[in-house]
Structure 1
Amino acid sequence: MTMAATAREIVLLPGLDGTGDLFDRLAAGLAEEFTVKVVRYPNDPSLGYAGYAELVRNVIGRREVFLLGESFSGPVAVRVAAQLGSQIKGLVLAATFLKNPWPSWLIRWASHAEPDATPKKIRDAILMGSYGDDELRNKVDQIVRSLSRPVRTARLRAIAEVDVRDDFAKLSCPILVLHGRKDWLVSMTAMQKAVCNKGGARIVAFSAAHMLLQTCADEAAKEIRAFAKSKTLWEAQYED
């Protein structure tokens, strides 16, 4: 099977903010290889991971696509990939997790805190490290201020309960994992273990903090494009 006969659309699932606005740089780097579809989540605090997965399945419909889940949306992407099977031609997981990355009590506590409780400089250091720029920092600040507290609380509580390790273990599609070596928000260790236990998946580490898709957009896009072009090799591996 040639790449011309395969899906050339990639669907991007956003982080905790749900806006998709932080994908601008990555989307520009992917445009030469893909038709890019950015999913934007509604400001609905009643939605949990099951609801987001249903929303994404409806967006995809019957099309064959590559799927990317960033941070909060990693478990959404894994669930959708498990549910849609061969429609997902490749799965990219960026700066994310399969099970809540912190103790559940701590995430629930954080869900009650005001977004402004963390000083902006500390928040930016956690999210971007030393790799951010003024444009990105200002954009993050605007998004944080615009995210409603009920939605933020609901999403953090969803993280506290999520566990898609069994779904991940059962996936048969090609998988690319992208993670920052200096990501203090979501440790890379758990994803490394999951990839090692599963086999048939590749992990690429960047000199970056949590927001690697924004601070290393060109490098991340390059890895994703290469991943898509190597799909026939992955198919041969799984057919063997």
Structure 2
Amino acid sequence: MIALTVSPTLVLLPGMDGTGTLFDPLRQALDPSLPVQVLDYPADQVLDYCALVERVWQQLPTDRPFVLLGESFSGPVAVSIAARRPAGLLGLVLCCSFVRNPRPALAPLAPLLGLLPMGRLPFWPMDALLLGGFSTPSLRQALAAAIAQVAPRVLQARLQAVIAVDASRALRETSVPVSYLRASRDRLVPASAAALVRQLRPDARLVDIDGPHCLLQAAPREAAAQLHAFIQTLIPACNGTGEH
């Protein structure tokens, strides 16, 4: 008897830019048969993590199973959604992300973030942090274009939100399988962020991929392969009669 499988929708939550446009390399690398839904955040509206969770909640699939991926900044959003146990959620993926401020030493600087001239900062430090040795002209152009779409005050607010966030309890309250994609050359989110995820969810699947913080952009084929492998473990096999 042949087992039949149905692909769930992969719901992608973006990094700090919130545009969703930076998922293009990953979408091109994924199997075309895998349904993908990209969500974005307002580029000109300051929303804290709680507000973003509510925004995402309203856009989740309600008529089909899905897997939720939180990239970088969106990790706490994805975790908070998963803790609510929405119907249809099969699994949770965190990519180069965190559930608590990944750089606690920066917490005392939170009041100063509002003074950063986000719209006038040079691009090269961001390029070095996010892409590093994997930087290419096309990746730099895509990253710069995405960041340029977002109001400086929104970026400042998101940075402050990262410093204050703690979704540890929410992660402990999740019940679906968890996969963490860790970039081996991430200069922004340290390995301790993944270690905390494993501490809170010892059963989490930890996958190391050679790449920078912008892993889904710089190593899309490798990331896509790992996503497909994880999703396959979540799809229940059905027999030829359609019975589970």
Kept after mapping to 1: 8 A contact 2:13/2:38 = yes
Find the structure with the greater CA-based Rg.
Answer: 2
CA drift at 1:85? 4.2
**Which piece of structure 1 moves more, 74-83 or 99-108?**
99-108
How does 1:158-237 map onto structure 2 within 5 Å? 158-231=161-234
**What residue in structure 2 maps to residue 105 of structure 1?**
108
Distance 1:43 1:141, change over 3 A: closer
Superposed structure 1 runs of 4+ greater than 3 Å apart = 116-119
State yes or no: 1:148 paired with 2:140.
no
Match of 1:88 in 2: 89
TM-fit CA distance, 1:197: 4.3
Distance 1:19 1:80, change over 3 A: same
Per-residue CA deviation, residues 92-144 of structure 1 (Å, 9 max, x unaligned), is 10011100112322344344312356532222111011112111101111222
Q: Deviations over 1:180-200 (max 9, x none)?
A: 121121112222232144222
Q: Determine if contact 1:15/1:73 at 8 Å carries over to the other structure.
A: yes
Task: Specify every segment of 5 or more residues in structure 2 that has no aligned partner in the other structure, as ranges.
Answer: 237-244
Contact kept, 8 Å, 1:98 with 1:162, in 2: the verdict is yes
- How far apart are the structure 2 equivalents of 1:112 and 1:188? 29
Q: Which moved more, 1:224-233 or 1:178-187?
A: 224-233
Would the aligned equivalents of 2:211 and 2:219 in 1 still touch at CA under 8 Å? yes
Classify 1:121/1:10 alpha carbon distance in 2 versus 1 (closer, same or farther; 3 Å): same
Find the aligned partners of 1:193 and 1:129 in 2 and give their Cα distance. 25
- 3-state SS of the aligned residue for 1:60? coil
Residue 191 and residue 142 in structure 1: after superposition, are their counterparts in 2 closer, same or farther (change >3 A)? same
Give the match for residue 13 of structure 2: 13
Please tell me whether the aligned partners of residues 29 and 221 of structure 2 are also in contact (alpha carbons under 8 angstroms): yes
Secondary structure of the residue that 2:85 maps to in structure 1?
Answer: helix
Q: Summarize the Cα distance change of 1:133–1:107 in structure 2 as closer, same or farther, 3 Å threshold.
A: farther
CA RMSD, 1 decimal: 2.0
Whether the aligned pair in 2 keeps the contact of 1:178 and 1:205 (CA below 8 Å) is yes
Q: Report the counterpart of residue 242 of structure 2 in structure 1.
A: none
- Paired residue secondary structure (1:91): strand
C-alpha distance in 2, partners of 1:217/1:209? 11
Q: Percent identity?
A: 34
For the residue of structure 2 that corresponds to 1:214, the secondary structure is helix
SS at match of 1:179: strand
